[in-house]
Amino acid sequence: MDRFAKSKLMTFPREVLVGHGVLDDVAWLLGELNLSGPALVVTGERTRALAGERAAAILSKGGIPAELIVTASATQASVERALAAARAHKAGVILGVGGGSVIDVAKLTAFRHGAPYVSVPTSASHDGLTSPRASIKEEAGSASKEAKAPLAIVADTGVIVQAPYRTLAAGCADAISNATAVLDWKLAHRLRGEEYSSFAAVLAETSANMIMENVESIKPNLEEAVWLVVKSLIVSGVSMSVAGSSRPASGSEHMFSHTLDLLAPGRALHGEQVGVGSIMMMYLHGGDWRRIRDALAKVGAPTTAAELNVDRKTIIDALVRAHENKPDRYTILGDKGLSRDAAEDLVRATGVA
């Protein structure tokens, strides 16, 4: 009999602090983790005043020397600049205090600097806020890079509730899109024998269901709604930690969105695009696509091409080319992708365009 030789490393966040006013406890939390700094606080133009400066002040008051760096979009240049600052200040911990791009810069800086990183999201727009992967803008679109799982997450609902509601709705859509990502994964497992983790899949599905079963409670200016979305995104991030890849939270609907990023950059938020993608991919899977559409509509996320600010032809082009986006990730799009006719039928049948 063969000896059992399977092994796997899963890295999870160690401390997750969620709730009203928890930013005030950030110095205490670093103490719990035996991190005495110095700390580099990576923040954004807009999030600086909202939480970045406050985080640095709370750390300094708590006896942890903190330096603040304001970063712009998530590019290689931004990472290099933050890395230089981390080295200059001999940072023992990196904090990302901001939205998606800030967190991406912070986690890649931490990965390259070899220091732990703490995620302090100021919006809940996608599950990258909690996941070990980072997306970096490159000339050929955005690339997903191996980074670090956060050592801790500090999600202050009192801060996040001040972000535009649109970002929260996009976060809901990113979680909901796990429904089709998991179906794609199951398909690849059955058809190609791809390694599959039922535990990771259940977590990813739970993340989607937490939103779909509670759409009534997701409204603007409501911290309870933020709490729910943050929890769902954390569960989604954990599913990726268990899988060791983005597989449970990123399937054909993400490939569609990434292709749309290439064809029509900057039209809509990541979560908004994957949500619309998920409606269409659920249709292809023969599943309950109306449930996805209705949940998105209920939370106020886009369900049509027009709401994504993209025309019908671009949506169809993105559908036809989506399978090329990650050729080694097998999904419902198959090896050859959709034919143009099938893509036209798909957008018509689902009312996307």
Q: Which residues bind Zn ion (CB under 5 A)?
A: 126, 174
Residue closest to Zn ion, measured at CB: 174
Nearer to Zn ion, 122 or 131 (CB): 131
Nearer to Zn ion, 52 or 275 (CB): 275
Read out DSSP for 206-275? Answer: HHHHHHHTTGGG--TT-HHHHHHHHHHHHHHHHHHHHHTSSGGG-SHHHHHHHHHHHHSTTSS-HHHHHH
Q: How far is the CB of 208 from Zn ion (least distance, A)?
A: 12
Contact 289, 346 (CB under 8 A): no
With both helix axes pointing from N to C terminus, report the angle between 198-212 and 178-192 in degrees, rounded to the nearest 10. Answer: 150
Nearer to Zn ion, 92 or 248 (CB): 248
Q: How far is the CB of 274 from Zn ion (least distance, A)?
A: 5
Nearer to Zn ion, 91 or 130 (CB): 130
Q: How far is the CB of 255 from Zn ion (least distance, A)?
A: 11
- Please tell me the distance from the alpha carbon of residue 238 to that of residue 129, in angstroms, as a whole number: 11
Q: How far is the CB of 134 from Zn ion (least distance, A)?
A: 12
Contact 106, 119 (CB under 8 A): yes
From the list 269, 227, 229, 271, the residue with the least C-alpha distance to 249 is 271
Nearer to Zn ion, 126 or 323 (CB): 126
Backbone angles phi, psi at 241, to 5 degrees: -65, -40
Q: How far is the CB of 160 from Zn ion (least distance, A)?
A: 17
Q: How far is the CB of 222 from Zn ion (least distance, A)?
A: 23
Nearer to Zn ion, 131 or 303 (CB): 131
